[in-house]
Amino acid sequence: MKNFGIDRVVRPKWNLPMTAWELDNSKEISDTEMRVRITMLHIEWDSFSQICHSCNFDEASIKAKIMYMVERRGKLHNPYTNSGGVLTGKIEEIGKQAINNKSGLKVGDDIICAASISAIPLKIDSIDYIDYSLGEIYCQGYAILFPSTISVNTKSLGGNQYSMLYFDESSALECANRFAKINKFETVGIMARDIANGYIFAAAVRKNNKHIKRVIVFVDNELKNVYSDLDNPEIVKETFDGFVDDLIVVDLSKPIDAYNYLLEEKGIENLDYIVLSENRDGAEGLAVLLCKENGGMFFSSVKNNYMSAALTAESMGKTINTYSFDTFTAISIGFTVELIRETTDKMVYIKKYQQKAGKDGRFGYITDYIKSNKASEVDGFVYSSKVTKAMLDEVISVSKFDCNVIIEGETGTGKEMVLSLIHENSNRSNKPCVKINCATIQEGLAESEFFGYEGGAFTGALNSGKEGYFTLANNGILFLDEISELSLNMQSKLLRVLQTNQFYKVGGTEQITVDVRVVCASNIPLEEMIATGKFRKDLYYRLNIANINIPPLRARIEDIAVLTEHFLKNYGKKYGVNKTISGDAIEELKDNTWNGNVRELENTVQRLIISSKNDRIEADDVNRILNKSSYDKLKVNFRAKEKDEVIDFRDYMEEQEKKLIVFALEKGKTTRKAAEILNIPQTTLNRKKIKHGLE
């Protein structure tokens, strides 16, 4: 077990390093480990692209996200894409039993670790530079490798700077070659991510396959904005001579248009073998159209829209033999090393085009990708702010791991929407999600509600008995909203089920076993309740494998504009009107404190639609609604005090004065502006702040 790092798994303890949520990346090594000083990480392309998009292509944010991912997990594993990459570095220290003598590796050797870094403990101290064209980051840090970790001495690679790109695809390269050789395919099409990717797959397919007569590389037309002369025959000949016969630029997202163009303008159809290395939607459709009856289609990854391609072929009544990389062995590494040696000289031309494209490389065509106030949406969760984006990234990340989750946030922030995101993006998405509000469960009935009961177990029980929440949620998710409302006695029983996955029905004698993922929510921070003795610490730690904290709306003001537009559109359809809102009105909404968060904003927009007399909602409409809301709250508070029969006038006025000062400070941001709002001297405002303990 120590040969591949099982001792480094932190949580969940029963998992393997690849699928574990967290690894121990401490620097000290055991006798069966070695430590490598990292110089560069090649991040798998889907993962790198997802990280860049989620950070709005802001370099500081990209660096921070990668650092955070490693700090949180002890490895570089992107749960959103479930992938990592490969690394290179220099061996610093070797344990006595870490290296097989046949490897010949020693301290000071420069190596490439060919195993996925999603299974390798590592730590990044700093990131110096990002190469966007290849998805590589130059950084300072270290990694822990094991006897089973396949590593290659870089001296054997001829100084090819693209070696990491090859090793990230090493299994796929060897398998693509093998299937072409076995089937004696003569015409080959490669759906490539970029020219370097297309080149290495073309070289791999041609290696020792003399029966191949023609290789065509297809790339998406977005690359034309980076490489303007990409399909110039002379450039293609100079760059790819001997490996690629044609390089054709098409719109991969429009497979029908692309196919008609290739058929009519290029005379291309009925290719023997298609290698699909591009994940763009539509590429698999074009591949099916181009592949001949009984031809072959190779997927460099099962993520390359494998099912879509298979179903497309089925719908067309076309028989296609599908392949994907099926193994990772020393043969793959040996093949890759040979391929690198044979193509080093040709890569000089690829480097020229990379330099021509400049720092932005493959992302050079993306300009103004995300602008301020541009609405984004994740499964119905509308947002614009980076704060919300970071939270949603964490939600998607946590969804992939089958662990218990605590969702915390104020009332109205969207905890049930976060639950929906977790459910839809988890491996339990096709299983039940049972939602329970713990505040509505009577204490005397809690045990029978959660665990069910046998017929006649107590007075009033149904003769047929009843299934409990855990049984109903078996194999799915059980959502416990307002879990803080459960009694300590019920918390104890819930803890036992979470520890053993077993329970007895009320009045039952047969032990029931379930497999349930528990997600719970609380408006009150559970740690505060632990401090007051109202929530069990051991239950908290059992639930708190992952914690999602939803920020209040006042902490993500940028979301107000896009949420308002979203609600205007939805409720406009409901009420049969088409109303817009002015910029000044949006600013008034942003100035509100929104103690009820998104739910309060949604209700306010509904009221604005109904109460505003014109098709355009103005700032005065917003002020009228919000001020009325404040007045209503004052009346409610006053009525509450009326019940006490005696009202202390001074205390009541002091309370209202404090509320006014808090309101002015929140709206004005500074004491000077707050004093102007209240039309009092700034010195008076400062004195009243001290009086009410607002310092």
User: Are 557 and 447 found together in one domain?
Assistant: no
User: Are 226 and 100 found together in one domain?
Assistant: no
pLDDT of residue 303: 63
Query: Is the pLDDT score of 369 beyond 50?
Result: no
Tell me the whole-structure pTM to 2 decimals. 0.56
Query: Is the pLDDT score of 367 beyond 60?
Result: no
Neighbours of 322 (CB within 10 A): 15
Q: 117-126, 338-347, 435-444 — which is least confidently predicted?
A: 338-347
Identify whether 161 is part of a domain. Answer: no
User: Are 135 and 196 found together in one domain?
Assistant: no
d(CA 429, CA 419): 11
Identify whether 226 is part of a domain. Answer: yes
pLDDT in tens, 177-203: 999 999 999 999 999 987 788 888 999
Distance of CA 655 to the CA centre of its chain: 45
pLDDT in tens, 565-574: 999 988 998 9
How wide is the angle at C-alpha 621 spanned by C-alphas 617 and 623, nearest 5°? 135
d(CA 456, CA 506): 10
More confident residue, 628 or 251: 251
Cis-peptide into 12, omega within 30 deg: yes
Query: Is the pLDDT score of 363 beyond 50?
Result: no
Query: Is the pLDDT score of 98 beyond 70?
Result: no
Sorted by sequence, the CB contacts under 8 Å of residue 49 that are 6+ apart come out as 135
Identify whether 611 is part of a domain. Answer: yes
**CATH assignment at residue 268:** 3.40.50.720
List the domain range (segments joined by +) for residue 602.
553-634
Task: Give the three-class secondary structure for 382.
Answer: strand
Identify whether 81 is part of a domain. Answer: yes
pLDDT in tens, 6-20: 889 988 777 888 888
Give the total number of structural domains in the chain: 5
**CATH assignment at residue 600:** 1.10.8.60
Find, among 443, 415, 414, 419, the residue nearest to 429 by Cα: 419
- Mean pLDDT throughout 157-176? 81
Query: Is the pLDDT score of 137 beyond 60?
Result: yes
pLDDT band at 587 (very low <50, low <70, confident <90, very high): confident
Neighbours of 496 (CB within 10 A): 12
Identify whether 188 is part of a domain. Answer: yes
Please state the length of the chain.
695
144-180 burial code (b ≥16 CB/10 A, e <16): bbbbebbbbbbeebeebbbbbbbbbbbbbbbbbbbbb
User: Are 30 and 127 found together in one domain?
Assistant: yes
pLDDT band at 281 (very low <50, low <70, confident <90, very high): confident
Query: Is the pLDDT score of 372 beyond 60?
Result: no
- From residue 164, give the alpha-carbon distance in Å to each of 160, 193, 627: 9, 16, 62
User: Are 20 and 104 found together in one domain?
Assistant: yes
Identify whether 640 is part of a domain. Answer: no
User: Are 517 and 567 found together in one domain?
Assistant: no
Token reading at 18: 């690849």
User: Are 670 and 623 found together in one domain?
Assistant: no
Domain end residue (candidates: 96, 122, 155):
155
d(CA 301, CA 277): 7
pLDDT of residue 123: 95
User: Are 579 and 629 found together in one domain?
Assistant: yes
> Please, is 138 exposed, middle or buried when counting C-beta atoms within 10 Å of its C-beta (0-12, 13-18, 19+)?
middle
Find, among 77, 62, 63, the residue nearest to 140 by Cα: 63
Query: Is the pLDDT score of 557 beyond 80?
Result: yes
d(CA 537, CA 531): 9
Domain end residue (candidates: 589, 611, 634):
634
**CATH assignment at residue 483:** 3.40.50.300
Looking at 466-536, list the stretches that DSSP marks H as alpha helix, in order from N- to C-terminal side. Answer: 469-472, 488-500, 526-531
Find, among 570, 608, 614, 610, the residue nearest to 589 by Cα: 608
pLDDT band at 362 (very low <50, low <70, confident <90, very high): very low
- Ranked by mean pLDDT, the top range of 375-379, 418-422, 461-465 is 418-422
Identify whether 250 is part of a domain. Answer: yes
Domain end residue (candidates: 499, 519, 549):
549
d(CA 415, CA 479): 11
Q: What percent of the chain has pLDDT over 90?
A: 39
Query: Is the pLDDT score of 58 beyond 80?
Result: no
Q: 82-91, 328-337, 537-546, 552-561 — which is least confidently predicted?
A: 328-337
pLDDT of residue 458: 84
Find, among 60, 87, 51, 42, the residue nearest to 363 by Cα: 51
User: Looking at this protein, which amino acid is placed at residue 309?
Assistant: A
pLDDT in tens, 647-663: 677 777 887 888 888 88
d(CA 59, CA 65): 10
Q: What is the helix (H) or strand (E) element at residue 659, kind and residue range?
A: helix 649-668
User: Are 495 and 566 found together in one domain?
Assistant: no
User: Are 609 and 655 found together in one domain?
Assistant: no
- Mean pLDDT throughout 238-257? 83
Q: What is the helix (H) or strand (E) element at residue 73, kind and residue range?
A: helix 59-73
Identify whether 605 is part of a domain. Answer: yes
- Mean pLDDT throughout 492-521? 93
User: Are 183 and 248 found together in one domain?
Assistant: yes
d(CA 399, CA 381): 15
**Mean pLDDT of all residues belonging to the chain:** 84
* Contact by Cβ (8 Å): 423, 477: yes
Assign residue 5 a region: left if phi > 0, alpha if psi is -120 to 50, beta otherwise? Answer: left
Q: What percent of the chain has pLDDT over 70?
A: 85
Assign residue 648 a region: left if phi > 0, alpha if psi is -120 to 50, beta otherwise? Answer: beta
Interstrand relation of 580-581 and 433-437 (parallel, antiparallel or unpaired):
unpaired
Half-sphere exposure of 75 (CA within 13 A, CB side): 30
d(CA 554, CA 589): 11
User: Are 443 and 531 found together in one domain?
Assistant: yes
